Structure formats: C-alpha cells, structure tokens
Amino acid sequence: MKLQHKHILGIGDLSKEEICLILDTANNMKIVLESKNKRTPYLQGKSIITLFYENSTRTRLSFELAAKYMGASSANISASGSSVAKGESLIDTAKTINMMGADVIIIRHPMAGASHLIAKNVGASVINAGDGMNEHPTQALLDFMTIREEKGTFDDLRITLTGDIMHSRVAKSNILGLVKLGARVTVAGPLTLIPKDIEKMGVRVSYSIRDSVRDADVVMGLRIQTERQKNGLYPSIREYAKFFSVDDKVLKLAKPDVLLLHPGPVNRGVELSSSVIDGPSSFITKQVTNGVAVRMALLFLLTRRETNETAD
C-alpha cells in the first residue's frame, strides 16, 4: 500500500489504512533511530526545507534530524531571519523555495489553512507542522504511535484530552484520528475552552477533570495556549490549575496502567503537576522519540509515492 496523498495537511484527509501504514513505517524507522548508526540512504538526493513562522523545538528539530538520518539535504527558514521580515508574501516565499529544488516543504504558520495554500502553489510535497488553531497532524500521528505501542489497539480505548481544547490544533487532529481509529474520546476543561458543538466530532464533553479521567486508559494534557486566547476565558492561571490540573490524586482515578501524554512544551504545575510529568505513568519523553520516527516515516512515504519500495 502507498500513501494516496501528495501532501500531509490534516488527519481528516487520511484513511484509517493510511494512518496504519504511517505507523507501521514509523515502527521500522524507530529501529534505525535506536541503532548505533542512524544513517540510511532513503532520502539521498532529496531536499527537505522547514519553513517556520512560529516557534518550535520538537517539531522543527525532529524533522531536521529525520531528514539528516535519511541522508537528505535539509535547511530551515524562519520568519525573522528571512525575506519574510521584509514583507515577502507566504506564497512568494514558498514558490522561491520550490524553485530551488525542494522535494518536501514543511510549514508551521499561525494562520489556519497556510499549508493548504502553499500546497496549491508548489510542486513539492507539503507537510503541515501546525496551522493556527486548525491541525497538527504529525503530532497526532506520534501520539497514535505511542498509544499503539503501549496499548496495542485503539478499539474502545478510553482517551481523555484535558485543557485548552478550543485553541488546540493537537486536540483537533487527535480527535479526528482517534475517533476514526475506534477510540472513545472525552474532552475536558472549562466551558470557555471547549468549542460549542464539539460533540458532533464524536466525543463526550465533561467540565469536571475528575469525572473525565475516571477509568481512562490514556490521559493527554494540552497546553494552555495563551498566545491564541482572548482575555477573560478563566480568572487566572492559578485558578485554572486549581480546578483543571492533572495531579497524582486526579490520575489515580484513571486505570492503574494509564498512559499520561502531553505534546509539549508543558507548563509545569498548570496542565500537569511535576509529579505526574516525571512519574511512572508518563510517556512524554517517549512521544518525543516517536516524533522523529513518525517524521522519518512521512518523509520516506511522501518521497516514495511513485515507487513500490518499502521500509522493511
């Protein structure tokens, strides 16, 4: 099986089979990642460009390492150090990168739909590394990989997403994928941080953190996105943490083998207490490693769409 899509713009576009293909390929890439010699020739002769208009540590670095581990030529452009700062439009910047021979362009942008716009204007494959409040598909894929590694299946898994659901592109991509994969998803947070009508996406809504995590198999804390919020959505960060932080007492209500996830960066003591972040249920550092494997898999699959080569 091959990827049906030239671009990875959102989890909503991917079939269940394509998601499984990406996760299976990422499993093979993880073997490379964990070996002493991480070099493979899979992307020899290919050019990978990361174009980041917003800050990032995990996503940007994992794409850059993924490209390097597979022998690609890679470069990064950020808004502040490029001609974007002189007023160049997004499309003109993308066309310029494309004309230098890029095979894959990876973009993070504060505007929802930015990666879709670029995909319409370049010959290269485009990967959405987060577009405003819309989607962050590669984060969701690494979350799925971590869940599948630990739980084996998504069927009827109880998965709770807590926090700023309203402004979270990670929440949207996770909900779209997890519901498709057969999980039972609950979202929890203050009324002001949960989108109206989100039940239509197939999730249960809870405004009580304790109720939402009871008997959960997976609990995923989501960052309070202060950079995207209007004022007045909750009285203060301290107040928010008092009612919605996941700490040891809250996590005890979940199943004994609960998996605690967070996409990062974490605000310690806000979404999650330090004790649970560093505790035995936390798989947050494993998510980071799986992020490199998933991004290696995506670069491999997108550059192999015309061939029958597999990563076995």
Which one of the spans 93-101, 120-128, 257-265, 295-303 is the region binding ligand CP (CB under 6 A)? 257-265
- Write out the H or E segment, with its range, that includes residue 128: strand 125-131
Which one of the spans 9-17, 53-61, 202-210, 235-243 is the region binding ligand CP (CB under 6 A)? 53-61
Distance in angstroms (rounded) separating the CA atoms of residues 70 and 103? 14
Binds ligand CP (CB under 6 A): choice among 7, 30, 46, 58? 58
Q: Is 96 among the catalytic positions?
A: no
Cβ 61 to ligand CP shortest distance, Å: 8
End-to-end CA distance of the chain: 13
The catalytically annotated residue of 108, 148, 172, 262 is 108
Distance in angstroms (rounded) separating the CA atoms of residues 52 and 78? 5
Alpha helices in the chain (DSSP H): 16-33, 58-69, 90-99, 114-119, 137-151, 169-181, 209-213, 237-244, 248-251, 274-277, 284-302
**Neighbouring-strand partners of residue 67:** none
- Which residue type, as a one-letter code, is found at position 86? K
Q: For ligand CP, which is the closer residue by CB, 125 or 139?
A: 139
Residue length, the chain?
312
Q: For ligand CP, which is the closer residue by CB, 174 or 206?
A: 174
Distance in angstroms (rounded) separating the CA atoms of residues 152 and 27? 13
Helix axes 137-151, 169-181, angle to 10 degrees: 50
Site for ligand CP in 136-195 (CB under 6 A): 139
Q: For ligand CP, which is the closer residue by CB, 137 or 264?
A: 264
Site for ligand CP in 83-142 (CB under 6 A): 130, 139
Helix axes 137-151, 16-33, angle to 10 degrees: 80
Q: Is 116 among the catalytic positions?
A: no
Q: Is 255 among the catalytic positions?
A: no
Give the count of beta carbons closer than 10 Å to the beta carbon of residue 185. Answer: 21
Instruction: To the nearest 10°, report the CA torsion of 52, 149, 173, 180.
Output: 150
Cβ 65 to ligand CP shortest distance, Å: 13
Q: Is 228 among the catalytic positions?
A: no
CA angle (52 as vertex; 304, 64 as ends), nearest 5: 45
Cβ 227 to ligand CP shortest distance, Å: 11
Distance in angstroms (rounded) separating the CA atoms of residues 169 and 150? 24
Q: For ligand CP, which is the closer residue by CB, 105 or 311?
A: 105
Cβ 152 to ligand CP shortest distance, Å: 24
Binds ligand CP (CB under 6 A): choice among 56, 146, 174, 273? 56
CA angle (137 as vertex; 133, 138 as ends), nearest 5: 125
Quick check: 4 binds ligand CP (CB under 6 A)? no
Binds ligand CP (CB under 6 A): choice among 265, 274, 275, 278? 265
Which one of the spans 52-60, 73-81, 245-253, 277-285 is the region binding ligand CP (CB under 6 A)? 52-60
Quick check: 303 binds ligand CP (CB under 6 A)? no
Quick check: 264 binds ligand CP (CB under 6 A)? yes
Quick check: 57 binds ligand CP (CB under 6 A)? yes
Which one of the spans 39-47, 50-58, 154-162, 207-215 is the region binding ligand CP (CB under 6 A)? 50-58
Cβ 55 to ligand CP shortest distance, Å: 6
Q: Is 108 among the catalytic positions?
A: yes
- Which residue ranges make up the site for ligand CP (CB under 6 A)? 56-59, 130, 139, 263-265
